[in-house]
Chain A
Amino acid sequence: MIHTLFIANRGEIALRVIRTAQRLGIETVLGVSEADRDSLPARVADRTILLGPAPSSQSYLDVDRVVAAAVQAGADAVHPGYGFLSENSRFARGVIAAGMIFVGPTPDSLDAMGDKLKARAVGLAAGLPVVPGGEAETITDARLRSEETGYPLLVKAVSGGGGRGMKRVDRAEDLESQVAMAMAEAQAAFGDPRVYVERYITRGRHVEVQVLGDGDHAIHLGTRDCSIQRRFQKLVEEAPAADIPEAQHEALRQAAVRLTEHIGYRGAGTVEFLMDAERYDFYFLEMNARIQVEHPVTEAITGFDLIEQQLLIADGLPLGILQDDVKFTGHAIEVRINAEDWTEDFRPSPGTVTGARWPAGSDIRVDTHIEIGDSVPPYYDSLIGKLIVSGVDRAQCIANMAKALGTLKIDGVTTTAPMHRAIMADPRFVAGAVDTRFFEGLSR
């Protein structure tokens, strides 16, 4: 049994983990940077421990400091959330070596999946199709790869995630500058400058499968569609993925379960696929070995608490859910409310929130760490909250979301809420099955 849980994260996901842990009677200790000492998660956690200065590199990303803080807290387990150290195997090993449980997969699984090149190889070994491409250590390698992939192509960070360190390159003459920029971003965000090159599928949908594994067996909790992205950052997610022929939909879910069992995966994970929007062929992209930002849409249609499942599995229990226990009800959409001005090329808008009226109602869930008077610091990502809305079907869900967005009012910082209103009103979105280029065609 986990008695004291150390949360090695910040923002809405820290609060999300604290809520479930407190409901389960687990004491929560939050590691905070100097910028987050008065944050909502810090106010709600049972205890807080100062990790260090505001920049992530000296606080949330500092493996030794975070492990030391968890030890000092007397924690018997550490939840890493998403981002930061969640997929860092050195961190997981440090937690385990200090005698604590790492709430997540084994360090070996993290190694296999954290490095996207290894993940491709594992995917192939499990019999999953992958997109053509490979590693590019230097610009010369990238040029060679581009001969295999053609243009447009994608440059991706080997240790990447969340769209950082990822660049689309349309012309050979842009390759050098884009590879350099991707390497710089990858170094800054992940401490690893390595990149690889992949063919860009022009009409692709981003479809992913939520899985749970206990090391022996795995189940899926259905699909999510996250095709609405800007510069590879997800903006809107929904569950289940709409308008996929049932045979292909089931093949996708089974492929994800096969991969999860193939690597003896333990915990909650997400298997991401790129799906051809017209032919429904799919390619394995990567496995995210952690909880995802968009996990609430899966919770909304299945009724399971994924954080609770993570904690149960971390406790060493076999899966408590059978595949047949998983039933899907209705449709759910999540929009990410970011402190950014979408009319100014998504310029970040840090500052102090002077008003925070979120929608409320029986079909509505809000995961946010921002209340009146809270600050949005410039050091971290711009997510200030997630609005999750359900409906009996997709059409009703979109109508409910549009209505909810109509009542949302955040003052003091500029948010992406107006963009989401435009997306909900876009006939292409309402029709469904949009590809990842949707955003380029969105009218302001």
Chain B
Amino acid sequence: MSGEPLLTAEDVAEIIAILDGTSYEHIDVQTKRVSVRIARSGDGWTQQWQHRASEAPAEAVVVAEVKPAGAQDVEGLVSLRPPLPGMFYRAPQPGAADFVAVGDVITADTIIGIIETMKVMNSVPAGVAGEIVEIIPQSGTMVDKNDILMRVRAAPQ
């Protein structure tokens, strides 16, 4: 076992009961494995925790982040970036047709894909009208906000 029991909610409540009768604003408790600050907040109390690792971290496997190629803007084209980090899907379901293809003419409201973030499927509207010139990530690629999903030649205003 970890040798040292964790502070429980009951322990915290007891510490607060003691502090309540004093004029102390906060108390810092530090052990080998954890530090916690219990502090006054209005007429209530707050707790802030930090646990240290109980052992050396597991073997250091470093996974290189592979970015989709072509994350640079191209002059004359609008780069469509994801509204959120997440898993990018080009089709509504496996086997279904992609939402859009290169050469498609789209409006700002056209759905160009789905971003799955925190298990929620978020439809991604193009946000710009024009023609799709390039689609960069494969379906099922993790993308972040700086990645480019597609390049669009904007329709003249």
Contact = CB atoms under 8 A, between A and B. Distances in A.
B55 to A, nearest CB: 7
Interface residues of B, number: 50
A43 B5 CA distance: 14
Interface stretch (B87-95, B102-110, B127-135): B87-95
Nearest to B44: A407
B51 A44 contact: yes
Contact of B44 (A38, A183, A359): A359
B123 to A, nearest CB: 9
Contacts of B53: 38, 42-43
Contacts of B1: 22, 25, 27, 46
B5 A361 contact: no
B86 interface: yes
A336 interface: no
A42 B53 CA distance: 7
A378 B117 contact: yes
Interface residues of A, number: 64
Contacts of A48: 58
Interface in A355-410: 355-362, 364-366, 371-373, 378-382, 403-404, 406-409
Contact of A358 (B17, B43, B46, B52): B46
Contacts of A358: 46-49
Given A43-B51, A371-B49, A50 B42 contact: no
A90 to B, nearest CB: 20
Interface stretch (A135-143, A186-194, A205-213): A186-194
B85 interface: yes
A188 B93 CA distance: 9
B157 interface: no
A339 B120 CA distance: 13
A62 interface: no
Interface in A215-274: none
Interface of A: 19, 22-23, 25, 27, 32, 34, 37-38, 40, 42-50, 53-55, 162, 164, 180-181, 183-185, 187-189, 193, 339-340, 346-348, 350, 355-362, 364-366, 371-373, 378-382, 403-404, 406-409
24 contacts: A22-B2, A34-B61, A38-B57, A40-B51, A44-B6, A44-B51, A46-B54, A47-B55, A49-B58, A53-B63, A181-B121, A184-B121, A340-B118, A346-B120, A348-B84, A350-B84, A358-B49, A361-B13, A373-B50, A378-B117, A380-B119, A382-B120, A406-B42, A407-B45
Interface of B: 1-2, 5-6, 8-9, 12-13, 16-17, 38-39, 41-55, 57-59, 61, 63, 83-87, 92-94, 96, 114, 116-122, 142
